[in-house]
Every structure is written in C-alpha cells, then in structure tokens.
C-alpha cells in the first residue's frame, strides 16, 4: 500500500462532480486505490477520504470511525456511494477536512442515513445504515464527490482569509 498526496483547496478536481465508476473499472486496480486511500487517511490522520482529495475524479470514498487499537474495524471502501434514506433528525458537528487544513466549520447533517455502494474489488452491491458520527463522516465525503468542500460552507470573508493564509504557507515552502 502507498500513502498518496492529498490535494489542498482550491483545486479544480475538488470543485468538480466526481464521475461514476464504470463496470469495467471494478477489480484489483480499484481495490488497490481504495486501500491506498485508506492508508493515506490513516497517515494524515483522518477518518474519511474521497478520491478527488487524491486527485482522482471518480466516485470512491473510504471511511473509518474506529480509533486506537480498534482502527480498521469500521473501515468501509465505497464505490459509487449514494444516500438512499435520511432520517428526519439532524445533528450539528464541527467538521475539519484534510483538503482544507486549519479550518473548522459547524455543519448540520442528517443523524441517520442509509447508504448503497459497490465493493471496489468486485462491484458487489452493499448497503448499510450509519448513525451520528459515522453518518457525518459519510455525508462529508459524499460532499467531496459532489464538488463541495468546507470552504463552500463559510462566509466569503472567512474563505478569503483562509485562501490568503494558504498562499503565504505555499510561498514559504521552498521549491524542489
């Protein structure tokens, strides 16, 4: 497995709607990408990662809400995920994002969701109910597949301040 570079906003791949994974794409190569994405997520460290965040414009996400010694016990690799049901109750969560470092945003999400997806290796259809924290993670990653990042949920003032800060950080990094 490999740790992939995570792209930082603003970048076109992060603002574009990810494309469906086609039947011929399922198999070992897509399974390896999902495993690499999981390794990247753990190394970051994070609890979710979408393919656009590693500069791949396909509908693929990984999530894992477990931590510590239990890490990996709630790992889901989802190709073409979609929410098929949402509960009426909502939850507000302070979210962060690996592609938008150093920013936290309060977001209101459905507290309960049902998600359908396909296994990256086989294309087999899967379904699962997610609640609270896991539901928040899945919804955050699905936002990435729709071209939405946390910066899209803040005021233009806060967005501008973050963009200026990141420009300064990038300018301070020596060129290779």
Catalytic residues: 141
Q: What is the chain written as a DSSP string?
A: --PPPPP-SS-HHHHSPPBPPPGGG-SHHHHHHHHHHHHHHHHTT-SEEEGGGGT--BSEEEEE---GGGTTTTEEEEEEEEEEEE-S-EEEEEEEETTEEEEEEEEEEESEEEEEEE-TTT--EEEEEEEHHHHHHHHHHHHHHTT--GGGGS-HHHHHHHHHHHHHHHHHSPP-
């Amino acid at each position: 497995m490999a740790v992939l570079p995570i792209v930082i906003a603003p970048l076109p791949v992060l603002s574009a709607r990810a494309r469906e994974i086609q039947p011929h794409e399922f198999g070992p190569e897509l399974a390896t990408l999902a495993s690499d994405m999981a390794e990247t997520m753990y190394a970051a460290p994070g609890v979710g990662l979408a393919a656009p965040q590693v500069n791949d414009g396909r509908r693929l996400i990984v999530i894992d809400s477990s931590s510590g010694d239990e890490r990996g016990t709630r790992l889901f690799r989802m190709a073409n995920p979609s929410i098929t049901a949402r509960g009426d109750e909502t939850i507000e969560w302070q979210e962060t994002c690996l592609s938008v470092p150093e920013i936290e945003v309060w977001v209101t999400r459905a507290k309960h969701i049902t998600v359908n997806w396909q296994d990256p290796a086989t294309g087999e259809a899967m379904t699962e109910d997610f609640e609270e924290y896991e539901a928040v993670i899945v919804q955050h990653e699905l936002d990435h597949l729709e071209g939405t990042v946390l910066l899209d949920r803040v005021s233009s003032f806060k967005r501008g301040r973050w963009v200026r800060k990141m420009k300064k950080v990038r300018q301070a990094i020596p060129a290779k």
